Chains A and B, each alone.
Chain A
Amino acid sequence: MSSVADGMVARPVRSRIMRRARPYLLSLPALLVCIGILIPFGTAAYYSMMRFRLNLPMLKGFIWFDNYTALVGDATFWHTVSISLAYAGLTVGLELMLGLGIALLLQKPTRFHNIASILLLLPLMTAPALAALMWKLMTNPNFGILSYLVSLLGIRDFKWASDPSTALFTVVLVDIWVYTPFMMILLLAGLRSLPKQPFEAAALDGVPRSFVFFRITLPMLMPYIITATLFRLLDSIQQFDIIYSMTQGGPGDTLLVFQVRAYLEFFQYTNVGKSAAILMILWAITYFLSNIFIKQWLKLRERTRGHA
């Protein structure tokens, strides 16, 4: 790094300044993008402490934390919190178990397994908003193939996303379809990167398989599991695309998760202050999680690259 510069000691002062400035000049555009993100972020924080409704501009004023205290006393907000947590917990938990199971099935790098793992990536590469539309077509009460299959099982009038009692199940199912491959592919990469010796030694000693799994595979895979889980958790707690394009948060307020609710607060009720306060609360949750995530992620990155 610094030795790159040693070759040209006898250059004039101007070029030394240039050299010093070089990394800053190179990253200047990225810095501008950063500022472009931080300004609206600051604005949102400010709006969250204002009485600010687009339809009533004359009432605009600074009210400190009144938006937040109003939310804390609002039962529908607590519904938003619990449905978001339920969604995130269910999707990530199920995706982790399924993803790990599939990764174990495909662990041996045979040709068939590799082709299968590539094909399994297709749902993940489908836009979540479009995936929701695909499932909407398949769960249509008139002709949806899944509605038909369910009726063969003797369940009549299964209404999928349009019934409050099964709406959460339906969007979780779509989320699992889209994002399980994410877990699978990261854990598969982890499994295949594990050192061979402990497994060979265990096989030689005739150690039972369940013991190998719980005492060798799982602990060694833990960094991958933690990173992938936190990554998914961060995305899932703020899921918008799947829920919005499937039900717009409905039926009723059943699926009004954080971001869908903030979106409707802003565009339907034009209550900018309240919407910003909801998003700030969500941001605090994701900020907390992402700090843990980034630490784990850096550890994994260092391990994969052997430096940095």
Chain B
Amino acid sequence: MEHVSTTERIVRGVLITLVLAFFLFPIFWILLMSFQTNETILRIPPSLFFEPTLANYTALLTGQLKTTAGNLDILFMRNLGNSVLLSTGSVLLSLLLGVPAAYAFARFRFRLGENIAFTLLSFRFAPPLLVLLPLSLYFKPLGLTNSYVGLVWVYQLICLPLILWIVRGYFEDISPDIEHAYRISGHSWRQTFTRIAIPLARPGIAAAGLLAFIFAWNNFVFALILASADKQPVTVGALAFVTASGIQYGQIAAAIVLSVTPTLLLALYAQRYLVEGLSLGAVKG
């Protein structure tokens, strides 16, 4: 291999440190803020040393927020619950709809299949409001406005293309010969699908599911338009919370920390598959 001089090694080390500092500092700083009272947050100059307090978190957990206008009941925990419910529900529905379709697209070449696969892919890149605004008008007469069912249905817009294209790739990577052999030994088509194809593609299915969960969790605009306060996930809830709680910065920071922790932990857990998921199955890590 090429010779690397000491100066180059030092320069590279410094650059990597700077990059890490820029990208990790905001997370670190908000985490620190979430353990501070407003008095220490407002100190000038800011300092890394303070007496940590859990008051912000207990206020959020109990739903009793201190604001300038007195005590206020904000059920931020409800937003967290909504996020869990919406993301989990969307991913489960997406897997149910997407895995059989992905299998069909991988194993049978048929015009309709390609059309569906590419329509879903191209709408992944269309402006979401284009679909959402007319939907918000349709949802009213259908009684789906501000309902979990309506939201989970709309979330398919992000989850389904992801699941479809990643899982399809995994099915394509499995040699059809294994399935042929199993079929010839007298098993039905359905048994082949559930006992051979699905178990072999399981890592792909799990990865796609985890990523779809992260993207569903991080979505903002769907619920902004289609949900009111009691059904909103954390992304929308946090913004409303900022407006409502005014200058209670520690509580805002704590709410942000609680909202981003689940996706960050999942991302660390699923990092092996992130490259594949982010490129919708086009690039392997």
Q: List residues of A whose CB falls within 8 A of some B CB.
A: 1, 3-4, 7, 19, 22-24, 26-27, 29-31, 33-34, 36-41, 43-44, 47, 102, 105-106, 113, 116, 118-131, 133-138, 140, 142-143, 145, 148, 177, 180-182, 185-186, 189-190, 193, 203, 224, 227, 231, 234-235, 238, 240-241, 244-245, 258-259, 262-263, 266, 272, 275-276, 279-280, 282-283, 286-287, 289-291, 293-294, 297-298, 300-301, 304-305, 307-308
Contact = CB atoms under 8 A, between A and B. Distances in A.
Nearest to B266: A125
Contact of A27 (B26, B104, B221): B104
Contact of B112 (A27, A276, A307): A27
Chain A contact residues, majority secondary structure: helix
B235 A240 contact: no
Contacts of A128: 218, 220
Most chain B C-beta atoms within 10 Å of own C-beta, residue among A19, A40, A102, A258: A40
Given A102-B19, A116-B16, A134-B30, A189 B97 contact: no
B264 A122 contact: yes
A304 B282 contact: yes
A308 B114 CA distance: 12
B46 A143 contact: yes
A230 to B, nearest CB: 9
Interface in B86-122: 96-98, 100-101, 103-105, 107-110, 112-113, 116, 118-122
Given A189-B285, A300-B283, A33 B221 contact: no
A280 B135 CA distance: 15
B121 A129 contact: no
B268 A185 contact: no
B201 interface: no
A142 B16 CA distance: 31
B29 A145 contact: yes
A224 B98 contact: no
A82 to B, nearest CB: 18
Nearest to A123: B23
Contact of A129 (B33, B128, B220): B220
B275 interface: yes
Interface stretch (B53-61, B62-70, B178-186): B178-186
A113 to B, nearest CB: 8
Contact of A134 (B96, B97, B123, B256): B256
B209 interface: no
20 contacts: A23-B110, A44-B133, A105-B12, A122-B23, A122-B264, A123-B27, A127-B220, A130-B238, A130-B259, A133-B252, A134-B30, A143-B44, A177-B26, A186-B283, A190-B283, A227-B282, A241-B220, A266-B133, A279-B130, A283-B130
Contact of B160 (A30, A38, A148): A30
A85 to B, nearest CB: 15
Given A23-B113, A134-B30, A286-B127, A262 B133 contact: yes
8 closest residue pairs by CB, A with B? A127-B218, A26-B104, A125-B267, A129-B220, A23-B108, A30-B101, A40-B134, A29-B97
Contacts of A120: 19-20, 23
Nearest to B112: A24
A241 B239 CA distance: 11
A22 B189 contact: yes
Contacts of B281: 301
B42 interface: yes
A291 B20 CA distance: 35
B179 A4 contact: yes
B217 interface: yes
A180 B116 CA distance: 31
Given A133-B252, A297-B280, A26 B242 contact: no
A139 to B, nearest CB: 11
Given A27-B113, A125-B214, A282-B130, A143 B23 contact: no
Contacts of A289: 125
A304 B256 CA distance: 38
